[in-house]
Chains A and B, each alone.
Chain A
Amino acid sequence: MELTVFYIFGGLAVATALGVVAFKNPISSAFSLVVSFFAVSALYAMLSAHFLAVIQILVYAGAIMVLFIFVIMLLNLQGEELEEKGFPAYFKVAAALFLAVFLGGLIFVFKNFQGIFPKANETFGTVKSVGALLFTRYFVPFELTSVLLLVAIVGGVVLAKREL
């Protein structure tokens, strides 16, 4: 049962990731990436990473991708700027073959490895537990991240101004 759910969300993540690479229209790629982020968030929830699953949707799908879509709309790409020439047939065949060999190799390597997840209690991955870590052991990186975000804000505003 859990394996089926994993395959559903994992397959969705891979299919939409392929969509990001394959679509000609950047808006289609952006929306495909949003769905991929939702699928990865579901995988996080399956891994008992409750805090991260919500953060993934809030920050990645809700902020970063909105930023991407705004920029695509702002640049107003249309017509031939959107179009790129597609891939020739032999390219697709070679890519599929390589992917099959790569996957086969990976699965073969992992065949004798039993990575069964141990049982986690219900405080694992909650906001409280991760927050406790963030404010005690990883306090310095946490504060430095806030400085980093400030730098990013200032840099973004300066870079995108029409006249300095």
Chain B
Amino acid sequence: MATLQHYLVLSALLFTIGIAGLVIRRNVLIIFMSVELLLNAANLVFVAFARYRLNLDGHVAAFFVIAVAAAEAAIGLAIVIAVFRNRGTVKVDELDWMKN
């Protein structure tokens, strides 16, 4: 029987992998996908605790997280397209014209 701690450990693992992808990869799109992984891990915690406490507020919170993640993904990808059109690259290392 899967208990709460199983879900929490799994969520922590997913969150760690998301952070690792966020920090390590240089491609902006993969960084975005890692952020989606982070949000999914947080949603899993919300839903697991909602099930544990038999309280539906966790589901509502996860619903809003999903909605905001969708809006954020749309805007973020529009920004990536605009930046790519102007600079020709999606590698974070090369997007440094605000430096100095």
Contacts and interface: CB of A to CB of B under 8 A. Distances in A.
Contact of A49 (B3, B24, B59, B64): B59
Given A52-B47, A64-B70, A125-B59, A106 B40 contact: no
A130 B78 CA distance: 32
B6 A6 contact: yes
Contacts of A47: 7, 47-48, 50-51
A145 B64 contact: yes
Interface string B35-65: 0110010011001101110101101101110
B95 interface: no
B9 to A, nearest CB: 5
A122 interface: no
B69 to A, nearest CB: 7
Contacts of B51: 47-49, 117, 120, 124-125
Given A17-B17, A115-B5, A145-B68, A68 B25 contact: no
Given A55-B63, A117-B51, A18 B17 contact: yes
Q: Is the interface of A mostly helix, strand, loop or mixed?
A: helix
Nearest to A134: B60
B66 A20 contact: no
B74 A153 contact: yes
Contact of A117 (B4, B9, B17): B4
A75 B56 contact: no
Interface residues of B, number: 66
A150 B82 CA distance: 20
B60 A138 contact: yes
A159 B52 contact: no
A90 interface: no
Nearest to B59: A130
B2 A6 contact: yes
A68 B3 contact: no
12 contacts: A2-B1, A14-B14, A17-B17, A20-B30, A20-B34, A29-B30, A43-B7, A67-B77, A68-B29, A95-B20, A117-B52, A133-B60
Interface of B: 1-10, 12-14, 16-18, 20-21, 24-27, 29-30, 32-34, 36-37, 40, 43-44, 47-48, 50-52, 54, 56-57, 59-60, 62-64, 66-75, 77-82, 84-85, 89-91
